[in-house]
Structure 1
Amino acid sequence: MKGRFLLYKELDITQELREDLNRITLGVSLGIVFFVCLNGAPFAGFVRALGVSELMYGILMSLPVVSGVFQLLAAYVLESTGARKKLFLIGGMFQRLSIIPVVLLPLVMPEELKWLTVSLITFFLLVSAVGGAFNGVTFISWMAALVPLKIRGRFFSQRQMIFTFTGMVGGILASWILDRIGGFVGFAVVFSAVTVFAVLDILCFIRVYDPPMVKPQYRLSMKKMWKAVVQHSNFRRYLIFWAVWVFGINIAGPFFSAYMIDYLKMSYLEITLYTQVVSNILTILVIRKWGLLVDLFGNKPVLRICCTGVSVLPFLWLLATPENYMIIPFIHIFTGIFWSGIDLTSNNLVMGLSPDENRSFYVASFSMITSVVGSIVAYALGGLFMEVTAELVKGLNIVIFGRRLVNYHMLFILSAIIRFIAVTFLMSPIHEDQSVEPKEMIRRSIHLLASKRGRL
């Protein structure tokens, strides 16, 4: 970790902190493929292969991302014990290792016991979610204490650029293996391999310094902590916006993968190349620019511009057909540009809008609300919407852009409408110190680009 191999040389920080930032980046670079597979087409294909209903598909797809439901408990344990690193390591191990039985069960359980297989898969996914709750809430608390505010934009943007590249390469290999092996054996091979790397991710944090937690002046009960979060008006406004935004994203989120697998009949390698690779290349190209803009102008204007761009994208999916789906790489050019900014700024705002005292509980409350509303409810309602509208759309025979509308398209349109509502009406009241309006950021950015002294 020493000498010329260190990253972040340009940051004005101590050598010890620089080494810790490198360990953090190395860890996520190893573990990112685990989450690429778990939150993308590979896991969607695994659930599809189980042969469950659309509603159950939505429920199972929501389980890997419902860790926020348990983060209130995780935050209370963290604030009570202060054992941040220990809880991070234990939670991370449970989150990752619980996926192994999930992908092995269909290989060892008889077909006639399918109900038991699905039940056990649900159980282990919940165990993984609980581990993810402890892992997630401790990570944000840890990074807020470790990474100085003045370098967060640049650090997290460069970190995201690096793990985006490794995730892209790993995702291609995982998709290639799935296409070659196929079936539940292929899923077992891929998820077992990525789990090994995800465990190495956690091990990278063993030597990372854990600053002492800010101790509250007096101990609050869980009820009082929750009341404090709700009464924090600015954080509450951000919480409401993000819950509606994530609901709009996730009501259709798992069905983009299903649309490509079932409707467009794309291979896993095609899906990875046209979606993940294209968007990741753009992320690598622009993420450091977003990081610099965040440090110069604040998180809110970057988030607003990026959310507005992402709100348009579901409409473009209406143009993709089984005969011609080359619109998908075009969509993911903008996905890579805008989503990289959203990922960067959303977590920064959680850290920035929450107070130092009991911050982990603010993070947990944020994750719990967005997980319940934006993940569990959204995924389930998305599945229910697909079941209810399956026959309805056939009878209506609606044509848009010269394409016959199917229930996937109706869901995508609904998703876009909800996204626009969140950005238009719920983001403006949020206040961030020292941030500027989007128009001002654009004007000053153009001036910097035109200036010989400034380069973005």
Structure 2
Amino acid sequence: MDDNFKSVKQNEKFSILNGVASTIVASTSNNYFSLFAISVLGATNYQVGLISSLPQFIGMFAMIIGSFILSRLEEKKKFTAISILFTRLFVFSMVFIMFVPPEYRSWVFVLLIGLMNFPGSFMLLSWQSLIGDLIPDQRRNSFFSERNRILTIVGMITTFLMGIILQQFDKANPLPYQILFFIAFVFGIVEVYYLFKHVEHKKEKPVKPIKQKRLTLKWDVFKDKRFVIFLICSLYFNFTWQMAWSLFNIYQIKYAYANGLWISLFTVANQISQVISYKWWGRMADKHGNAKMLIFVSLGMASAPLLTVLSTNLYYLIVVNVFTGLFVAGTVLILFNQLLEVTKEENRSSYIANYNILLAIIGFIAPQFGVFLLEISNINIAMTTSTIFRASSAFVFIWLYISLKKKYPASPLMLNQK
């Protein structure tokens, strides 16, 4: 028992260090993809939309392949580490994007971002499954709230420093972005190092392997009603959430004329409120249950698009990001913990794979739908529509809460609810 507790604590430590490196990677690359595409490469609205949606489309196929690979692995750590490395190699390739003929640069950049999500989907799927095995149920809310708080602080500091660096250069100068992409790759190596430090116990092979396992891994999860109810609700919420992702970038850069420093300040403002709210969301989820808290999360997230388009004043947009960051923290923490709660440990990889495959379809459609609304109307109508859609997801989560409470009162999902 003591050895098991020791390995859990060790895994928590290295998970945080691994997450710190991963956060630095995102803070020096992903955060500035849209700004680089618009300001340096001259990307269109459609191409900016593809930056959000194409990775999801490619990831859908990766999830199918990854689910079969993971179902055959006795150990997931090595596969996760290799997936991380290949994902970061795509970031490294972006350093050389300016060597591509000008007329093809924006399309090559979009394609690189899309293809990067092939190993990136392996990375996400295997990490979620691995960490679900390594961190016990009773420690998840407290650990992930603390982990997310630390990573958000790191992301906030890194993003602010990167914004200051970008401010020293002309908005259309590619050099600072190339430097950031290289830094991201270096920390990607650090990320792999700390992933290997995790302690993973090899799973024993079953004495009598089931011949049809390959087929049942794909469909059996849909017989679990708890999972299916959560799946429907989560997919609807993610559609309403993701349809505005590209719109925020377009509004901030093309309408509010934000440069690298302001984009960094928006991100930092959002992250500050995440830092101060992660523990609160964790405590509330422990007290009331994840299903109930998702109702409040969705209502808070609904305010973001409408509040954003009320003004192009950059200082005002910082305040909006502070407010909306409170609910982003709840979304990230509670959705992930809810997913782990409605999945069974013995075939969690299959649950997560199917969930992420369907989520990838939504992730491809939703941003394109948002850009489509922008093209046929204007930014105000598109963002207001997003707010209405997001608010409607609160009713979906009410259905989730009531359904689970009535049909599954003794399930783990409801144990914490009062």
1:36-56 CA-partner distances (Å, limit 9, x unpaired): 35443x111122132233222
Alignment of 1:441-452 (within 5 A): none
Determine the structure 2 residue equivalent to 1:21: 12
Q: What amino acid is the match of 1:414? A: T
Deviation at 1:245, TM superposition (A): 1.2
Q: What amino acid is the match of 2:114? A: L
1:226-278 CA-partner distances (Å, limit 9, x unpaired): 321233222112112111211112111122122111111122212222x2222
Looking at structure 2, the residues matched to 53 and 164 of structure 1 have their Cα atoms a distance apart, in angstroms, of 31
Determine the structure 2 residue equivalent to 1:191: 181
Looking at structure 2, the residues matched to 215 and 132 of structure 1 have their Cα atoms a distance apart, in angstroms, of 28
Tell whether 2:167 aligns with 1:179: yes
Q: How has the CA–CA distance of structure 1 residues 277 and 294 changed in structure 2, closer, same or farther, with 3 Å as cutoff? A: same
TM-score computed with the length of structure 1 as normaliser: 0.82
Q: How has the CA–CA distance of structure 1 residues 215 and 66 changed in structure 2, closer, same or farther, with 3 Å as cutoff? A: farther
Looking at structure 1, the residues matched to 7 and 142 of structure 2 have their Cα atoms a distance apart, in angstroms, of 18
- Assess if the C-alpha contact under 8 Å between 2:294 and 2:397 holds in 1: no
SS in structure 2 at match of 1:205? helix
Looking at structure 1, the residues matched to 152 and 3 of structure 2 have their Cα atoms a distance apart, in angstroms, of 24
Which of 225, 242, 257 is equivalent to 1:250? 242
1:160-193 CA-partner distances (Å, limit 9, x unpaired): 1111000001111122222223422221111211
Q: What amino acid is the match of 1:89? A: A
Deviation at 1:72, TM superposition (A): 2.2
Looking at structure 2, the residues matched to 437 and 328 of structure 1 have their Cα atoms a distance apart, in angstroms, of 40
Q: What amino acid is the match of 2:337? A: N
Q: How has the CA–CA distance of structure 1 residues 233 and 435 changed in structure 2, closer, same or farther, with 3 Å as cutoff? A: closer
Q: What amino acid is the match of 2:383? A: F
- Assess if the C-alpha contact under 8 Å between 1:252 and 1:415 holds in 2: yes
Looking at structure 1, the residues matched to 136 and 412 of structure 2 have their Cα atoms a distance apart, in angstroms, of 17
Tell whether 2:132 aligns with 1:140: no
Determine the structure 1 residue equivalent to 2:230: 238
Deviation at 1:65, TM superposition (A): 5.1
- Assess if the C-alpha contact under 8 Å between 1:56 and 1:383 holds in 2: no
Determine the structure 2 residue equivalent to 1:416: 387
- Assess if the C-alpha contact under 8 Å between 2:78 and 2:196 holds in 1: no
Tell whether 2:75 aligns with 1:104: no
Which of 303, 315, 320 is equivalent to 1:312? 303
SS in structure 1 at match of 2:72? helix
Tell whether 2:270 aligns with 1:299: no
Tell whether 2:366 aligns with 1:378: yes
Deviation at 1:129, TM superposition (A): 0.6
RMSD, matched Cα: 2.5
Deviation at 1:64, TM superposition (A): 4.5
- Assess if the C-alpha contact under 8 Å between 1:142 and 1:211 holds in 2: no
Structure 2 unaligned segments of length 5 or more: list them: 406-410
How high is the sequence identity, in percent, across the aligned residues?
22
Looking at structure 2, the residues matched to 296 and 193 of structure 1 have their Cα atoms a distance apart, in angstroms, of 41
1:378-401 CA-partner distances (Å, limit 9, x unpaired): 122222332333xxxxxxxxxxxx
Looking at structure 2, the residues matched to 206 and 256 of structure 1 have their Cα atoms a distance apart, in angstroms, of 36
Q: What amino acid is the match of 1:335? A: T
Alignment of 1:127-276 (within 5 A): 127-182=115-170, 183-213=173-203, 218-220=210-212, 223-273=215-265, 275-276=266-267
- The total of aligned residue pairs comes to 404
Deviation at 1:335, TM superposition (A): 1.8
Tell whether 2:315 aligns with 1:326: yes
Deviation at 1:212, TM superposition (A): 3.0
Looking at structure 1, the residues matched to 204 and 285 of structure 2 have their Cα atoms a distance apart, in angstroms, of 26
- Assess if the C-alpha contact under 8 Å between 1:308 and 1:423 holds in 2: yes
Deviation at 1:376, TM superposition (A): 0.9
Looking at structure 2, the residues matched to 77 and 371 of structure 1 have their Cα atoms a distance apart, in angstroms, of 18
Deviation at 1:146, TM superposition (A): 0.8
Which of 44, 57, 75 is equivalent to 2:48? 57
Q: What amino acid is the match of 1:355? A: K
- Assess if the C-alpha contact under 8 Å between 1:66 and 1:372 holds in 2: yes
Looking at structure 2, the residues matched to 39 and 411 of structure 1 have their Cα atoms a distance apart, in angstroms, of 24
Deviation at 1:325, TM superposition (A): 3.6
Looking at structure 2, the residues matched to 220 and 331 of structure 1 have their Cα atoms a distance apart, in angstroms, of 52
Deviation at 1:159, TM superposition (A): 0.5
- Larger % of helix: which? 2
Looking at structure 2, the residues matched to 365 and 129 of structure 1 have their Cα atoms a distance apart, in angstroms, of 16
Looking at structure 2, the residues matched to 240 and 230 of structure 1 have their Cα atoms a distance apart, in angstroms, of 11
Determine the structure 2 residue equivalent to 1:446: none
Q: What amino acid is the match of 2:381? A: M
Tell whether 2:307 aligns with 1:336: no
